Amino acid sequence: MAFLLPALLGALGLGFEVAYWYMTTRGMQNAADSAAVAAATNGGANYDAEAKAVAAQYGYLDGSNNVTVTALNTAACPSPSDGNTCYGVTINALVPIFLAQIVGYNGDATVNGARNKKLVATGVAQLGTTPICLLALASSGAEGIRTTGAASANMAGCSVMSNTSAACSGHDLGADVGDAHGTNRGCGVTKHSDVPVVADPYAGLASNIPTNTCTSYPQEPASQKGPSLPAGNQWSGSKTLSGDVIACGDQQLTGNVTINAPSGAVLVIENGRLDTNGHTLTTSSGSALTVVFSGDNSGAYTHAPTGGGTLDMAAPTTGPWKGVAIYQDPNLTSGLDIAAAGNSPAWDISGLVYLPHASVTLSGAVNKASNGQSCFVLVVDNVTINGTGNILSHGGCLPAGLAMPTAVGGRATLVF
């Protein structure tokens, strides 16, 4: 017994010591995880103070009792594509050794002449992101999203984001999430304010616009007595298109038009509008079309779809314009506003409608194209949504080839 007692005491001591270290590390891990989530959710300049305050609530006060709490906003994320954009919190603590020295273990450090064991716990969190189908870039400084009598608007399944403020009086639009860089006053079932600005994700597509070869830009007559548009600027019936098609000036429908473009086509309208004129433009099954409005800012040009009738069009799912249905050149700054989007003409559109400098009033229900995916994303400068403004096409942007914009906000998630 005399020979066995030291070994027995050493084994029991080491067992108790290791159990103590495990329980302490488990508590430190809970603190580090919670602190990382808090830091990422904060996402501001004082994220580190937020992390340390949360760790202190768990009993791990930075700089006290041999505890060090370190917070970083450049931690490596588990997914390589996310880079070093995660938030990490590491807690280091020194705990005294009681019985493990019996078996010769002396720990990692000496504090006031006593041997200590170093324990470490690390938590990594990533700020949550929300895919959005309505983005107000608000580069003009205007309030990005607002409503006027929108009591019947229903954007369930859609999330909205304003790079300035947002105000939805009396109704939250039914949008799943409402985000705003400024103050969000009532938009979205779940509401976030002070969300980081969402950079324009589609401005770079302008490099795909072909060179303008037009020498003149015929415009629709201001009155019935004026000269009509040239025959080439009036469409009806079936049109077979491929590649880049440049239209100079206003393009008007004089009857229903069916676009046959099995390989996809890009209709570039230089210094003109697309006037549906009470008719329907449809992309046939298996066809795809992108309409680009380009030109210059001189003259009284309208660079937008107008007229009654319906735009029933699907964007291409491959190629440089994949997922893009309508695109206003971001270099344009005038003649861009749309007063009755979704209503005059009606919008049955699969894909992105990109109007980065336009003030838009959403006045109708946006649904998917007859021959397209259930995907719709609207990017504007600012938007006013009235009582009939609905976005019904959502959930199918991945097969439609469109990478949706995302807002960073809300509660973060623990990733490591």
- DSSP of 341-396, one letter per residue? EBBTTEEEEEEEEEEEEEEEEE-SEEB--TTS-S-EEEEEEEEEEETT-EE---S-
63, 71, 1, 84: which is closest to 31 by C-alpha? Answer: 71
Question: What percentage of the chain reaches a pLDDT higher than 90?
Answer: 65
For residues 312 and 172, the model is more confident at 312
Q: Three-state secondary structure along 289-354?
A: EEEEEECCCCCCCCCCEECCCEEEEECCCCCCCCCEEEEECCCCCCCCCEEEEEECCEEEEEEEEE
For residues 203 and 10, the model is more confident at 203
Other beta carbons within 10 Å of 278: 15
Token duo for residue 292: 């680009």
Read off the pLDDT band of 395 (50, 70, 90).
confident
The Cα-based distances of 390 to 146, 161, 205, 378 in angstroms read: 14, 15, 27, 12
- Residue 410: the pLDDT is 60
Query: What is the Cα–Cα distance from 303 to 287, expressed in whole angstroms?
Result: 24
Read off the pLDDT band of 315 (50, 70, 90).
very high
364, 396, 358: which is closest to 377 by C-alpha? Answer: 396
Q: Mean pLDDT lowest for which of 141-155, 253-267, 368-382? A: 141-155
Task: State the pairing for strand pair 305-306/324-328.
Answer: unpaired
Task: State the pairing for strand pair 406-408/129-131.
Answer: antiparallel
Tell me the mean pLDDT in the region 357-369: 92
- Residue 40: the pLDDT is 87
SS3 assignment, position 207: helix
- Residue 101: the pLDDT is 67
Read off the pLDDT band of 412 (50, 70, 90).
confident
For residues 409 and 289, the model is more confident at 289
Tell me the mean pLDDT in the region 283-287: 96
Question: What percentage of the chain reaches a pLDDT higher than 70?
Answer: 94
- Residue 103: the pLDDT is 64
- Residue 7: the pLDDT is 63
Tell me the mean pLDDT in the region 43-54: 89
The Cα-based distances of 231 to 153, 219, 402 in angstroms read: 41, 12, 35
- Residue 11: the pLDDT is 62
Average pLDDT of every residue of the chain: 90
The Cα-based distances of 43 to 36, 154, 196, 230, 284 in angstroms read: 11, 31, 9, 57, 47
